[in-house]
């Protein structure tokens, strides 16, 4: 997910879980611990172009490494004498926020290796787009509303009289009313976010059902498939399925109410190590960059139609219509210092907001009803 979503979720989780004991420090530790895992994006190597994409969402996103993240986030207060008693709470606050980052990333299609070093498997649950303003703004609204309510309550509190109630009584009454009164809006934002993820799971199931109907109408037997929400919505899904060595790519519109429709795209041959040219095979060294890229792309690898030297990740495209990979690899000429070059064209992406809106609303002219075929006996 994007940086803002991680920061807001980390702050929200930290506040509802540890705000009563840590005060404003809970949100601070939460934001820091929720942002630190993405520092792995700074890892690069001139001798290994794939090191960055291989290690992003790798060990810094694993549950095994999360205690280190939590400790680093708590360091500003760790060695202060007045906060010694709060060390366990500070650590647990950072741990919860770090886990919120890990699990939120796993809800996208990019994939997160959160069980490193026990397995290198990438977990990507396809419940939400990498950027989703509905989810992000809901968290922001909850945090802002919470801050405004707290400020208003504090401003309206009567001044403390000389005959104040006993400390024990005061602490008791505050502890009884603090959870509901102080964090109601943050709880509401987290509840909305959870429900939004659950709705994403329902929409994903419906997208897979529509995908199966489409493949059946084409006479295809799906060998494996994936359906991913597109940018900022739960209605338009990028559909990929593999059949007899080809990857079929379509866009499915799955409304909350009504029948799904399809915008058919294209199919391309999947590229495996057996499909490399002799020149490309000769460039493979101990780094085995092609195998590593295939693992990163979860096997959704194909040559770019306009540039067959570019082997791209079919999960992400510059175009909503045809496959134009956002990133991929290209084998280098003999004698080059690296066996492949990493091609990242994400800055070239010019997604038309107007076109996406017509897809979301169902006004796009290229969407058609799913074809129907008689069900087998």
- Domain of residue 32 covers 3-151+177-200
The answer, yes or no, to whether the previous bond of 117 is cis (omega within 30 of 0) is yes
Per-residue pLDDT, averaged over 25-44, amounts to: 95
The answer as to whether 205 is a domain residue is no
Tell me how crowded residue 84 is: count the other CB atoms within 10 A of its CB. 10
The answer as to whether 129 is a domain residue is yes
Q: What is the pTM of this model?
A: 0.87
The answer as to whether 157 is a domain residue is no
Over the chain, what is the mean pLDDT?
89
The answer as to whether 329 is a domain residue is yes
The answer as to whether 162 is a domain residue is no
Name every residue whose Cβ is closer than 8 Å to that of residue 12 and which is 6 or more positions away in sequence: 30, 139, 142, 143, 186, 189, 190
Instruction: Specify the number of domains making up the chain.
Output: 2
pLDDT in tens, 241-288: 999 999 999 999 999 999 999 998 889 999 999 999 999 999 988 778
Distance from C-alpha of 346 to C-alpha of 334, rounded to nearest angstrom: 27
pLDDT in tens, 40-49: 989 989 889 9
Which residue, among 71, 88, 73, 76, has the nearest Cα to 34 in the 3D structure? Answer: 73
Same domain flag for 224 and 190? no
Same domain flag for 66 and 25? yes
Residue 284, token pair as written in the block: 């493979």
pLDDT in tens, 113-148: 999 999 999 999 999 999 999 999 999 999 999 999
Same domain flag for 43 and 144? yes
Same domain flag for 21 and 115? yes
Residue 315, token pair as written in the block: 């999960």
Which residue, among 266, 212, 263, has the nearest Cα to 236 in the 3D structure? Answer: 263
Name every residue whose Cβ is closer than 8 Å to that of residue 34 and which is 6 or more positions away in sequence: 6, 7, 9, 10, 11, 97, 98, 100, 101
Per-residue pLDDT, averaged over 59-74, amounts to: 96
Which residue, among 50, 41, 90, 55, has the nearest Cα to 69 in the 3D structure? Answer: 90
Share of the chain above pLDDT 90, in %: 71
Same domain flag for 69 and 135? yes
Same domain flag for 254 and 335? yes
The answer as to whether 166 is a domain residue is no
pLDDT in tens, 275-320: 999 999 999 887 789 999 999 999 999 999 989 999 999 999 988 8
Output b/e per residue, 227-249; b: 16+ Cβ within 10 A.
Answer: bbbbbbbbbbbbbbbbbeebbbb
Same domain flag for 12 and 56? yes
| CA 149-152-156 angle, 5° bins | 140
Same domain flag for 227 and 195? no
């Amino acid at each position: 997910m994007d940086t803002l979503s991680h920061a807001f979720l980390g702050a929200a989780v930290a506040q509802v879980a540890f705000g009563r004991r840590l005060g404003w420090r809970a949100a601070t530790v939460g934001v820091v611990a929720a942002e630190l895992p993405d520092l792995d994006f700074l890892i690069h190597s001139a001798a290994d172009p794939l090191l960055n994409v291989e290690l992003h969402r790798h060990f810094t996103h694993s549950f095994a490494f999360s205690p280190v993240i939590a400790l680093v986030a708590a360091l500003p207060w760790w060695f202060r004498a007045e906060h010694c008693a709060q060390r366990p709470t500070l650590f647990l606050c950072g741990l919860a926020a770090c886990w919120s980052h890990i699990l939120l990333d796993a809800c996208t299609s990019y994939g997160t290796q959160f069980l490193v070093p026990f397995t290198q498997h990438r977990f990507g649950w396809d419940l939400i787009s990498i950027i989703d303003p509905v989810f992000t703004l809901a968290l922001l609204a909850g945090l802002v509303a919470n801050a405004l309510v707290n400020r208003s309550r504090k401003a309206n509190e009567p001044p403390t009289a000389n005959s104040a109630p006993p400390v024990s009584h005061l602490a008791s009454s505050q502890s009884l009313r603090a959870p509901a009164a102080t964090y109601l809006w943050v709880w509401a934002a987290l509840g909305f976010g959870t429900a939004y993820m659950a709705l994403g799971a329902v929409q994903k199931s419906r997208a897979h059902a529509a995908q199966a109907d489409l493949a059946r109408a084409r006479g295809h037997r799906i060998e494996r498939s994936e359906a991913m929400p597109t940018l900022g919505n739960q209605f338009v899904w990028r559909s990929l399925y593999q059949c007899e060595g080809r990857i079929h790519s379509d866009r499915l519109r799955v409304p909350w109410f009504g029948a799904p429709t399809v915008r058919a795209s294209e199919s391309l041959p999947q590229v495996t190590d057996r499909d490399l040219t002799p020149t490309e095979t000769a460039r493979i060294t101990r780094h085995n960059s092609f195998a590593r890229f295939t693992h990163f792309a979860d096997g959704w690898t194909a040559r770019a139609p306009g540039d067959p030297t570019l082997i791209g990740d079919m999960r992400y495209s510059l175009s909503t219509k045809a496959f134009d990979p956002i990133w991929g690899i290209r084998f280098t000429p003999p004698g080059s210092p690296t066996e492949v070059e990493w091609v990242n064209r994400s800055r070239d992406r010019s997604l038309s907001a107007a076109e996406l809106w017509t897809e979301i609303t169902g006004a796009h002219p290229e969407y058609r009803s799913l074809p129907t075929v008689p069900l087998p006996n």
